[in-house]
Structure 1
């Protein structure tokens, strides 16, 4: 072959240092990865909508969560504008055991509209549903704060100082791990009363142990890295090393574990309310609504199905967001 065919490429020395891709920080790159995860974005939007409804929902239709009207008991959902659409379940009709369909609103001569129906005491389920959602989101925020504050600080201090400090702190966590949450709640009920305060104290006592163990393990791995030794050489205090060097490097692990803890806390509250150890009537939570709806499931299935759908959406949204954050913040998932 003729050597003249092969000509060297012309190199532009001015462009050899040119960066073709914009420089991104760790969090900017993570955000771009999260945006590519459609399930996480949809879940985030749904969670925002549910939060907005939990805040304003109980004040929309003018009914109170504990307002009783026995004449309006067990009414099915009926929504203005949708009541004439036969294939939607908002026409106010019920089916008897023998298969006969009747309009419960006409039979009881009720002129009001109950968008999600009423329970056995005539209380508006729409208002009670969003009041219960507010409780579940309160538990979610509480669990996140407990993990972020108590769990992270406890685990970071235990792992960083090590030695006798670590031994004493880990023995305390082992004792707390050995005590089931249900036992702590029962003890709180004996001392206090069944309700949100007992659940709050129970979560505060043991809800942070898992996060503390994860943070401790990561700190043990990172505390002997070169940048930590350099910070010690420069005279930084232990508190500043933990706050400025270790915790920022643990941010991804902390966020991911917090997002996975939140659904467990919501389910824990719903379970306690379902078995009668949580909120007491007339207060409402998604667990109490499911419990009350379960008792009349065959006659009035909407009383259980609607709150079950909402709590399922909340838990699925948190899990999808956690999956998206795990993929975005995990260094092994980077290109």
Structure 2
């Protein structure tokens, strides 16, 4: 075989431009910008955020759009199936105002009762518009959810940070109080509040205020115990910073990721807690409605009028799944252990 000549240029040292050795190709990002880029990569979290925004808008706009009062009763319009103008002639959609009887016969209830109005999601056994009541119930469920998040972020964060920072006897006393509260089931607290107050939104609010923040306090305390002996805290203490400044300006800002993640997981739990209470009759009372009370009312007549339970169940399921997806996305974005 003929030998190939190797040029001397291949043995020359590479020319390296030292001016480009320190060049930064990507833009500099702060913590929150980097976290937002990670959240945007999670398509489920982004879609869930859009869904929650749309549901929140519908919760406040829906009752005004329907044109019906959520408490208005009309016995002649009771148990009407859904009917939407423009879709009533589409046979394969469940919005044509027909209902299947026990013998298998389909009847148009609106024509039978000579009703000209349109009820988009039907009516309940008292003739109240389901569409309006579902969105009114969504308002209550979202109120409970964000109330629980607010309590977590105010009481739970402050309590846990103070307990973990000071330690010693103060920590022992505060943790014994938490253990007592954790030993009391939420249901027992709600029943006690109902005995003192009346069944309704106030008793649920008080019950959440008493016990809802305990989990957050324990998480924040554990994180503060890890951070309080690190160099930046010791430096701040050496420079004469007060305890409150160290807690609220140095420790808590470093726990924002953990706080947000736990808060987002608290929200669906609070929604389910309220729905459970309403379902067993310890929640809101008529004429107020929540998604839990609507599911409870629909469950009683599920075989005859399944739409009365299906639609509120779909709404509460979407809300809980969306909040859990957002929490998963934020955990992946804000938790340093989850970074690539």
- The 3-state SS of whatever aligns with 2:145 is helix
- The 3-state SS of whatever aligns with 1:24 is coil
Deviations 1:171-215 (A, max 9, x none): 000000000111111111111100000000000000000000000
Structure 2 residue aligned with 1:31: 36
- The 3-state SS of whatever aligns with 2:205 is helix
In structure 2, what is the Cα distance between the partners aligned to 1:76 and 1:326? 42
Find out whether 1:160 has 2:165 as its counterpart: yes
Which structure is larger by alpha-carbon Rg, 1 or 2?
Answer: 2
In structure 2, what is the Cα distance between the partners aligned to 1:4 and 1:41? 54
Find out whether 1:291 has 2:323 as its counterpart: no
Shift of 1:49: 0.3
Structure 1 residue aligned with 2:264: 259
Structure 1 residue aligned with 2:156: 151
Q: 2:306 aligns with which of 282, 293, 301?
A: 301
Q: 1:101 aligns with which of 93, 101, 106?
A: 106
In structure 2, what is the Cα distance between the partners aligned to 1:225 and 1:249? 12
Shift of 1:59: 1.3
- The 3-state SS of whatever aligns with 1:78 is coil
In structure 1, what is the Cα distance between the partners aligned to 2:14 and 2:304? 81
Q: 1:224 aligns with which of 223, 229, 252?
A: 229
- The 3-state SS of whatever aligns with 2:26 is coil
Shift of 1:2: 6.9
Q: 1:195 aligns with which of 196, 200, 215?
A: 200
Deviations 1:229-270 (A, max 9, x none): 111111111111111111111011000000001101000000
> Is 237-246 or 111-120 further displaced after alignment?
237-246
Tell me the TM-score normalized by structure 1.
0.98
Q: 2:248 aligns with which of 232, 243, 249?
A: 243
Structure 2 residue aligned with 1:177: 182
- The 3-state SS of whatever aligns with 2:142 is helix
Find out whether 1:83 has 2:88 as its counterpart: yes
Find out whether 1:121 has 2:126 as its counterpart: yes
Shift of 1:3: 6.2
Q: 1:137 aligns with which of 136, 142, 157?
A: 142
Shift of 1:4: 4.5
- The 3-state SS of whatever aligns with 1:11 is coil
Q: 2:282 aligns with which of 247, 255, 277?
A: 277
Shift of 1:5: 1.8
- The 3-state SS of whatever aligns with 1:94 is strand
Shift of 1:334: 2.1
Q: Which runs of 5+ in 1 are unaligned?
A: none
Matching of residues 1-20 of structure 1 within 5 Å = 4-20=9-25
- The 3-state SS of whatever aligns with 2:107 is strand
In structure 1, what is the Cα distance between the partners aligned to 2:240 and 2:228? 15
Shift of 1:6: 2.5
In structure 2, what is the Cα distance between the partners aligned to 1:333 and 1:175? 34
In structure 2, what is the Cα distance between the partners aligned to 1:296 and 1:41? 37
- The 3-state SS of whatever aligns with 1:194 is coil
Q: Which runs of 5+ in 2 are unaligned?
A: 1-5
Find out whether 1:209 has 2:214 as its counterpart: yes
Structure 1 residue aligned with 2:338: 333
- The 3-state SS of whatever aligns with 2:66 is coil
- The 3-state SS of whatever aligns with 2:218 is helix
Equivalenced residues, count: 335
Find out whether 1:186 has 2:191 as its counterpart: yes
